[in-house]
């Protein structure tokens, strides 16, 4: 190789001609496109920032506050590079709006999870940090999300586990994470928190429970799950409006 790194996030920022003033101080980052589009609908005068592969971000305003929204990937690898682009582009606060599987019997489909820390079971973050690194959410933002969501529905808070292997969530791998204290599992938070922390950005995550690994409940098509996602978006916007920044 002639360069130390073939392609960096800063290279893409320059390629897309992105400027810090094009983005909001806060970005609400969804996993899937449908959820991201629901966020776009809440913005006044949204302007597209960029599209990279299948990931698109928009910036507009809500009650005069500039906010960026978009779909940041369904899995750890794409979440890592999208998060890094946002960090290099000048976003200071990133809030993940996602889904997860519950790891406690009393957590139901449609409940909310506020992630405090993440146990890293993904393969992406080992390229960024040492194995003993534990990514953490910003306490102030997490407190605000918890306060807002607790007024809406049942909300739980604690460590979560990120894995890359959806069809290998077996007792062999799941039970040790439960013993460590994980209350839910997702496929993104590890990369999202880890990459942002390297840029000294503040992060938090609110997740809607889609299924339960303990009881075996599957709620991907449950109307309650879809309604919870709508509520989650409202909670995220309400929290973003109350945070300091532009």
Pairing of strands 155-163, 184-186: parallel
Would 44 be classed as within a structural domain? Answer: yes
- Nearest Cα to Cα of residue 192 among 111, 39, 38, 86: 86
Q: For the chain, how many residues are written?
A: 246
Position 190 scores a pLDDT of 98
Phi/psi at 244 (5° precision): -70, 150
3-class DSSP state of 80? helix
- What residues make up the domain containing 84? 9-242
- Number of domains within the chain: 1
Measuring CA to CA, which residue among 39, 40, 243 is closest to residue 144? 243
The reply to whether 3 falls in a domain is no
Cβ-based neighbour number of residue 166 at 10 Å: 10
pLDDT of residue 159: 98
Q: Is 43 exposed, middle or buried (0-12, 13-18, 19+ CB in 10 A)?
A: buried
- Does residue 194 contact residue 133 with C-beta atoms inside 8 Å? yes
Q: If you average pLDDT over every residue of the chain, what do you get?
A: 95
Q: Examine residue 144 and state whether it is found in any structural domain, yes or no.
A: yes
Tell whether 26 is covered by a domain: yes
pLDDT tens per residue across span 40-78: 999 999 999 999 888 999 999 999 999 999 999 899 999
Please check whether residue 46 is in contact with residue 6, taking contact to mean a CB–CB distance below 8 angstroms.
no
We report the CATH number of the domain holding residue 48 as 3.40.50.1580
**50/156 Cα distance (integer angstroms):** 34
pLDDT reported for residue 161: 98
pLDDT in tens, 23-34: 999 999 998 899
Query: Is the model's pLDDT at 245 over the cut of 80?
Result: no
Rg of the chain on CA atoms, in Å: 17
> Rounded to the nearest 5°, which phi and psi values hold at 21?
-70, -10
Question: Could you tell me if residue 170 is inside a domain?
Answer: yes
How far apart CA 132 and CA 155 sit, in angstroms, is 29
Residue 179 phi/psi, 5° resolution?
-65, -30
- In three-state secondary structure terms, 231 is helix
> Quick one: DSSP state of residue 164?
S
Q: Tell me, yes or no, whether 155 lies in a domain.
A: yes
193 is a domain residue: yes
What φ, ψ does residue 240 adopt, rounded to 5°?
A: -60, -40
73 touches 225 (CB < 8 A): no
Assess if residue 4 is contained within a domain: no
Can you tell me the distance from the alpha carbon of 5 to that of 7, in angstroms, rounded to the nearest whole number? Answer: 6
pLDDT, tens digit, 9 for 90 and up, residues 90-127: 999 999 999 999 999 999 999 999 999 999 999 999 99
pTM here?
0.96
Residues 32, 67: Cα–Cα separation, whole Å: 18
Binning pLDDT at 50, 70 and 90, where does residue 187 land?
Answer: very high
pLDDT one-digit tens code per residue, 123-168: 999 999 999 999 999 999 999 999 999 999 999 999 999 999 999 9
């Amino acid at each position: 190789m002639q360069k130390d790194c073939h392609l960096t996030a800063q290279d893409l920022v320059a390629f897309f001609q992105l400027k810090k003033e094009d983005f909001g101080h806060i970005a609400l980052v969804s996993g899937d496109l449908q959820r991201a589009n629901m966020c776009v609908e809440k913005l006044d005068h949204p302007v597209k920032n960029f599209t990279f592969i299948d990931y698109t971000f928009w910036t507009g305003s809500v009650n005069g506050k500039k906010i960026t929204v978009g779909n940041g990937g369904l899995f750890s690898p794409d979440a890592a590079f999208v998060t890094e682009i946002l960090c290099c582009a000048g976003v200071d606060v990133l809030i993940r709006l996602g889904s997860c599987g519950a790891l406690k019997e009393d957590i139901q489909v449609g409940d909310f999870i506020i992630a405090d820390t993440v146990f890293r079971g993904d393969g992406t973050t080992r390229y960024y940090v040492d194995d003993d690194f534990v990514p953490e959410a910003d306490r102030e933002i997490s407190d605000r999300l918890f306060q807002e969501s607790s007024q809406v529905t049942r909300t739980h808070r604690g460590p979560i586990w990120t894995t890359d292997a959806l069809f290998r969530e077996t007792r062999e791998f799941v039970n040790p994470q439960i013993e460590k204290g994980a209350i839910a599992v997702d496929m993104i938070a590890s990369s999202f928190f880890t990459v942002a922390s390297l840029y000294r950005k503040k992060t938090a995550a609110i997740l809607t429970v889609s299924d339960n690994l303990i009881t075996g409940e599957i709620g991907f098509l449950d109307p309650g799950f879809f309604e919870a996602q709508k509520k989650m978006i409202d909670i995220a916007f309400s929290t973003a409006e109350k945070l300091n920044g532009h």
